[in-house]
Structure formats: C-alpha cells, structure tokens
Amino acid sequence: MSQFFRINEPDVSAEVFDLEVLAIDLKTGHYHSLRQAAVPLWRLLVEGHGVDDAAALLAKALGADPALVRNDAAALVADLTARSLLVPAATPDSPPTPPGWLANLAPGYQAPVFDTYTDMRDLLLIDPIHEVDVSGWPHQPASAPDTTA
C-alpha cells in the first residue's frame, strides 16, 4: 500500500524550478535543494500521487528500472519526512491522473539529490513580515528593554 504526503505548510515553503526544488523550513531556518530525480518525485508526491505510483510513473517516463526508482523514492521520502518537509496526507478519494509534464522530462534517469544548508539560518529565522521596522529587512530587531528594574 502506497503512502501519500503533502508539504508541511505553514512551516515549510517550497518552490519548483525547472531543474531544482528549493524548500525552506521556516521553523529551523534550514533550506534544502532537491535535484535530478528528486524534482519530478517531489512534484508527483505533492500533486497527490503515492510513493509507489510516483516511482512507477517516473520509471516508465524515463525508461528506468522500476525497482531502482522505487528504492530511491523511498530513501528520498525518508529524508523529506525526517526533516519534516513532507508530512503524511490522507489517501485521495480518487487517484490523480498522470501529469502531462512527465512527457517533457529529459531522457535518462539520475538518482535523486537532496542537500541541506544551514548557513543562512539566522537570516531565515527573522520573520520578514512581522519583524520589519524602519531599518528594513534583514536587520534583526533590538531586544525589548528590561522593565524589571
């Protein structure tokens, strides 16, 4: 039985580009780069496909070994859920149809690449909506004055 997932909103923000998915964990300040087969797998998962279905669709579209893609998809999902980027979702009432964009993938399967970065943590943890003052962003607000004296 396949598992289904969704983006862990509002704690995670993600953007899909042609060759990369950038996902930011707004609670930890870590950002993540997904490349190669991780991009179509992410797209399929967040569009409502289960892990098994996503792997099978990708393997068929790229002419790759289904067992290899399934193992890679399972490992990717383990990483994504361990970092709370994806969380379990309810089983959809009806299975989603295979997306047309699969036909536009470049031929050849390349294993998923998933990298995590923490170097911008301090900047990403500053809330740019609520913490902005006349000095602008990304200036960290001054601490509140001590009123216990």
Contact 83, 117 (CB under 8 A): no
Query: Hey, where are the domains in the chain?
Result: 5-125
Q: What mean pLDDT, rounded, does the chain reach?
A: 85
pLDDT confidence band for 132 (50 / 70 / 90): very low
Q: Which tokens is 85 given?
A: 């980027």
Kindly give the residue spans of alpha helices, DSSP state H, lying in 4-149: 38-46, 51-62, 66-82, 121-125
Length, in residues, of the chain: 149
Residues 119-147: what's their mean pLDDT? Answer: 53
User: How far apart are the C-alpha atoms of 10 and 26, rounded to whole Å?
Assistant: 8
Q: pLDDT at position 10, please?
A: 92
Residues paired with 22 in a beta bridge = 15, 33
Whole-model pTM: value is: 0.80
Confidence band for 92, pLDDT divided at 50, 70 and 90 = confident
In order, the DSSP letters of 90-101 are PPPSSPPPPPGG
